[in-house]
């Protein structure tokens, strides 16, 4: 009997102690009015769930996975050789007189140094058709 009385008492008077609050919807996505701070989290979450991949990226990943340690060593050696040649070219050209215009040939690469209106123009031309231009401004 005490249990039923306690149950009725809590049911009758305990409901007055409970308080309700208003329910407010706040969107998560910044495109729909949500906080802009959620953008990074949403983008990373969608990228992690994305099962589709660009074919060019997939082919590059497969090509990179196929490279052997010998190929990596040869590529590193070639980079060091080009670095040393470029350093030697700069050391030979920069001196007491400064950088002198001229054309230099290094295997398949041709380096053309000329004077322009903005400064010295250094053109690096590859035999396969690639070309890069660097302008060193006058001081």
Name the residue range of residue 95's domain.
Answer: 78-139
In a domain, 47, yes or no: yes
Helix, coil or strand: residue 115:
strand
| Kind of pairing between the strands at 102-106 and 119-126 | unpaired
pLDDT at 4 over 80: no
**Domains held by the chain: number:** 2
123 bridge partner residues:
112, 133
In a domain, 99, yes or no: yes
Question: Higher confidence at residue 13 or residue 56?
Answer: 56
pLDDT in tens, 31-71: 888 888 988 999 999 888 888 877 788 777 777 777 778 88
pLDDT in tens, 117-137: 888 888 888 888 888 888 888
Question: Higher confidence at residue 11 or residue 23?
Answer: 23
In a domain, 130, yes or no: yes
């Amino acid at each position: 009997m005490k249990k039923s009385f306690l149950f009725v008492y809590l049911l009758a008077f305990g409901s007055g102690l409970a308080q309700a609050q208003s329910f407010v919807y706040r969107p998560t996505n910044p495109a729909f009015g949500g906080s802009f701070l959620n953008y990074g989290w949403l983008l990373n979450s969608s990228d992690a769930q994305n099962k589709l991949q660009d074919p060019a990226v997939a082919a590059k990943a497969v090509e990179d996975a196929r490279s052997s340690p010998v190929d990596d060593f040869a590529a590193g050696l070639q980079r060091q050789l080009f670095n040393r040649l470029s350093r030697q070219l700069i050391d030979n050209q920069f001196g007491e007189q400064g950088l002198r215009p001229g054309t230099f040939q290094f295997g398949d690469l041709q380096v053309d140094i000329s004077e322009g209106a903005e400064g010295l123009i250094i053109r690096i031309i590859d035999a396969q058709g690639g070309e890069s231009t660097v302008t060193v401004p006058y001081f």
